[in-house]
Chain A
Amino acid sequence: MSLSEEQREQISGLGLPQSIQEALLDGLENEQFTKAQFDEVIGQVKSDYDHAGVEPCEAVGVIAAQSIGEPGTQMTMRTFHYAGVAEINVTLGLPRLIEIVDARKIPSTPTMTIRLEPDYARDRDLAREVAWAIESTSILHLGSIATDLAEMNVLIELNHEALAQRKITDEEVAETLRSETGLAVEMRDGMLVMAPEEPSYRELLQLVEKIKRLSLKGIDGIKRVVIRKEGDEYVLYTEGSALKEVLEFEGVDPARTKTNNINEIGEVLGIEAARNAIINEATDTLREQGLSVDVRHIMLVADIMTCDGEVKQIGRHGVSGEKASVLARAAFEVTVNHILDAAVRGDIDDLRGVTENVIVGQPIQLGTGDVQLVAKRRDEVIQ
């Protein structure tokens, strides 16, 4: 017997989450049952679901803090790992977790995972071309640089194989050097020759340093790109992050390309994407260390961090610093400043939160403590 339309409606009317509804429908499909059995099953599921829910006034934030904090004590304090075979250095373990909840503007090791469009993802040569187009190319990738002290010249010898590989011509190199330094570039016997404005030894060395730092092609800030085969597609990993620019590159699949810089995701893809990124990054960091934390705790943290429309940190300059209560803020960090400022402004503490009530020694307004009971006196009841 399959489910009748009426029974399906009954299930969808229970107010269960979609995942449970689907599991229930899957389980009931093609099973034999009477109407009474059906009612018993959905009644049991509904009551179990309600039973599993969090009680009103439960301090879910504290539970989330404990649930993430305890496994955190088992994490490696200092890990500098190499992500697989591609020698890209990424921060993992506790430092990374701290970085995520601190909402740092730039993580200590920014890196992007660039996925490619189908044609490019299966062809190693095409994937390499994309990689070279993205990677910031400096003069040292293309040849060697030397100084001629007798002539007070900088000599740049270009390697034509490298030029061809990276699809850049010596004219283009000369043009970039000319516009970036504002100096004349001469071509002499296949070498680029440049002279500093004043023929001094110091100027000469400074010019060499400047030329070495110039980005001739690719995205400035992407120091390295490595190609790795995952399944049947080639994936690029970068050292350095510039999501906005990379999404516009030919051959890059913009829908599946991401960075580990959560603030950058917030700016390029919006606050909801930043929330998803926090959840993914935190879960991955914990899982990599062999720890499993229920995703609900991490979701709560991500929700709090993103509820104001921007990514704010869990800490003095974010969530904790925005608490309404003076005492709660003072109990967290920089105690004297908070109390002094509150005194100057004449702030009032309503004593609604947990911390401030613990400080003054009152019952906290949580769980059963949040229920206000007004009892009728016995004699009144009898009358």
Chain B
Amino acid sequence: MKKFAVQDHDLVPPHILLSPEEAEQVLQQYGVEARQLPKIHVSDPVAKEIGAKVGDVIKVLRISPTARQAVFYRLVID
């Protein structure tokens, strides 16, 4: 059986795990609290793959049909 990385799938945009400092910077930039960010479950296949823990912030580099690339952030929740 072959191993397949979820992030290699066409439908999955690149997910980047941010360090606490980087996450803090993002929150400062947008002037929001972490709980106001969109969420991602810690059990999400991609979150598992990149080893995210509850409370981490994940940066998603979406491929947008209008802007080509759009940056999106998600807070890892239980």
Question: A residues near B, CB below 8 A?
Answer: 17-20, 22, 247-248, 250, 254-256, 258, 265, 267-273, 276-277, 279-280, 295-296, 299, 303, 306-310
Partner of A276, one of B1, B13, B67, B69: B13
Known: A276-B12, A299-B65. 19 other contacts (CB 8 A): A17-B64, A17-B67, A17-B70, A18-B67, A20-B67, A250-B2, A269-B46, A270-B6, A271-B40, A271-B41, A271-B74, A273-B9, A295-B66, A299-B66, A303-B38, A308-B38, A309-B44, A309-B74, A309-B77
7 smallest A-B Cβ distances: which pairs?
A: A17-B67, A309-B39, A270-B46, A273-B11, A18-B68, A19-B68, A307-B38
Interface size in chain B (residues, C-beta < 8 A): 30
26 cross-chain CB contacts under 8 A: A17-B64, A17-B67, A17-B70, A18-B68, A19-B67, A19-B68, A250-B2, A255-B9, A256-B10, A270-B6, A270-B12, A271-B44, A271-B46, A272-B11, A272-B13, A272-B60, A272-B62, A273-B9, A273-B12, A277-B11, A279-B65, A306-B38, A309-B40, A309-B44, A309-B74, A309-B77
On B, residues with C-beta under 8 Å from A are 1-2, 4, 6, 8-13, 15, 38-41, 44-47, 60, 62, 64-70, 74, 77
Min distance, Cβ B67 to any Cβ of chain A, angstroms: 3
Chain A residue at minimum C-beta to C-beta distance from B4: A254
Contact A310 B67 (CB under 8 A): no
The interface residues of chain B, by DSSP majority, are classed as: mixed
What secondary structure prevails in chain A residues at the interface with B?
A: helix
Q: Which of B38, B47, B62, B69 contacts A270 (CB 8 A)?
A: B47
CB of A19 within 8 A of CB of B11, answer no
Known contacts A269-B9, A272-B13, A277-B11: A248-B40 contact under CB 8 Å: no
Look across to chain B and name the residue whose beta carbon is closest to the beta carbon of A303. Answer: B38
